[in-house]
Amino acid sequence: MSTNAGSAQAWQERYAASLMNTFGAPKLVLARGEGSRVWDVEGNEYLDFLGGIAVNSLGHAHPALVEAVTAQLSTLGHTSNFFATAPQIELAEKLLALLGAQGSGKVFFSNSGTEANEAAFKLTRRTGRTHVVAMEQAFHGRTMGALALTAKEAYRTPFAPLPGEVTFVPFGDVDALRAAVTDKTAAVVLEPVQGEAGVNPAPAGFLEAAREITTASGALLWIDEIQTGVGRTGAWFAHASSGVVPDIVTLAKGLGGGIPIGATLALGAAADLLQPGNHGTTFGGNPVASAAALAVLATIETDGLLDHARTVGTQLRKGLLADDRVVETRGDGLLIGLDLCEDKSAEVVAAGFAAGFILNNPTPNRIRLAPPLVLTSDEAAALIDAWPGILDAAGVVAP
């Protein structure tokens, strides 16, 4: 039986001795959480402004999530996909309804975002075409297929050659996209907001242009909402405000509120491209994970968390931008990027830990915030109040 007893240093030494070094040494050893707060093994308290990288949409130990998982696990746990279960079917119907695709779409469930994209990648091959256009600075996952669509060379180079015939174009460049897409292109894949790159929203009109270009060429438009979906930006889907109807949408992260689940939604003719034997999963659509996702969606609706995310997100952006060492804020809702005046984001994250705040630095000069959607106004104010001191401690100097 595991225990949290012991010093952080002792746990970190055991971590280094027993786990593969894929993420470097962990900065904290966490023991428990409640709402937007977590505690480490030595009892230190932190406000969690990362939320497991946009995963913990209801925060930690939310009663609705605990109740749903406990009830489902007490009733029917894993079944494999030889059998259907009510939570799986109800979740698929709910997601299609939120997307406005009930009756014209279908869902494939998996365990993670990269698997959701892997399924979508395979689906595009069923068009008979093999060429895919992806975006520079994109992140779509770390399995081999999803990695082929991810632009970051540091992730790609150690595993080359990667599968697929992929062309990268500058994010937001309509002319470059138009030039890259041909009648041999199976799909264009893009994120409405590039989270891993530091929260880069697509320029106005880019999604609409991508839809027009893909429709003209017969290619599929595949929108990766893994980080942005399920209320993260204050809407169920970040692309919704564009009015664009994609062919494929992929989801994960916040969908299960901390319980692993991914989803590939296909609309129209794309919904029938995968046929029996083309793809599969052992755990995808597991009734416990599906019940968790249903509880997340229901709580977001009943507690008004879409409006709440927009309100608290605006409070955070306005409050943090008031310090002139932040030169720009990006994103919507509670997916926020902060551009610093110098490349000291790592120092800011370290100073944040020391002050009791969990932050993230996707690039040398950017801070990413993706807190739970239940983050309160008072908790947002706590970071705003502490922000100048954190920047001082990090040695960030005003321009």
- CATH code of residue 276: 3.40.640.10
* Domain contains 1: no
Is 114 annotated as contributing to ligand binding?
yes
* Domain contains 336: yes
Catalytic annotation, pick one of 139, 171, 206, 237 = 139
Place of tokens 């698997």: 115
Q: Examine the fold and report which residue of 279, 303, 327 is the final residue of a domain before the chain moves on.
A: 303
Domain count, the chain: 2
User: What's the pLDDT score for residue 2?
Assistant: 58
Catalytic annotation, pick one of 94, 121, 171, 224 = 224
* Domain contains 67: no
Mark whether 392 is an active-site residue. no
Per-residue pLDDT 10s for the chain (399 aa) are: 455 667 899 999 999 999 999 988 888 999 999 999 999 999 999 999 999 999 999 999 999 999 999 999 999 999 999 999 999 999 999 999 999 998 899 999 999 999 999 999 999 999 999 999 999 999 999 999 999 999 999 999 999 999 889 999 999 999 999 999 999 999 999 999 999 999 999 999 999 999 999 999 999 999 999 999 999 999 999 999 999 999 999 999 999 999 999 999 999 999 999 999 999 999 999 999 999 999 999 999 999 999 999 999 999 999 999 999 999 999 999 999 999 999 999 999 999 999 999 999 999 999 999 999 999 999 999 999 999 999 999 999 988
Q: Residue 161, preceding bond cis, omega within 30 degrees?
A: yes
Q: Are residues 94 and 238 in the same domain?
A: yes
Range of the domain at 316: 8-61+304-394
Q: Are residues 120 and 223 in the same domain?
A: yes
Query: Cα–Cα distance between 103 and 100 in angstroms, integer?
Result: 9
CATH number at residue 33: 3.90.1150.10
Is 226 annotated as contributing to ligand binding?
yes
* Domain contains 118: yes
Q: Are residues 280 and 338 in the same domain?
A: no
Least Cα distance to 231 among 335, 129, 377 occurs for 335
* Domain contains 16: yes
Q: Are residues 264 and 308 in the same domain?
A: no
Q: Are residues 281 and 185 in the same domain?
A: yes
Least Cα distance to 289 among 6, 15, 53, 73 occurs for 73
* Domain contains 66: no
Least Cα distance to 267 among 103, 92, 98 occurs for 103
Q: Examine the fold and report which residue of 303, 318, 353 is the final residue of a domain before the chain moves on.
A: 303
User: What's the pLDDT score for residue 1?
Assistant: 47
Q: Are residues 259 and 186 in the same domain?
A: yes
Q: Are residues 251 and 381 in the same domain?
A: no
Catalytic annotation, pick one of 237, 253, 323, 344 = 253
Mark whether 224 is an active-site residue. yes
Q: Are residues 385 and 265 in the same domain?
A: no
Checking DSSP bridges between strand 366-369 and strand 360-363, what pairing results, if any? antiparallel
Q: Are residues 134 and 265 in the same domain?
A: yes
Query: Cα–Cα distance between 332 and 372 in angstroms, integer?
Result: 14
Is 143 annotated as contributing to ligand binding?
no
Is 70 annotated as contributing to ligand binding?
no
Q: Examine the fold and report which residue of 281, 303, 325 is the final residue of a domain before the chain moves on.
A: 303
**Six token digits for residue 327:** 């030169």
User: What's the pLDDT score for residue 264?
Assistant: 98
Q: Are residues 98 and 190 in the same domain?
A: yes
* Domain contains 287: yes
Q: Are residues 230 and 106 in the same domain?
A: yes
Q: Are residues 228 and 198 in the same domain?
A: yes
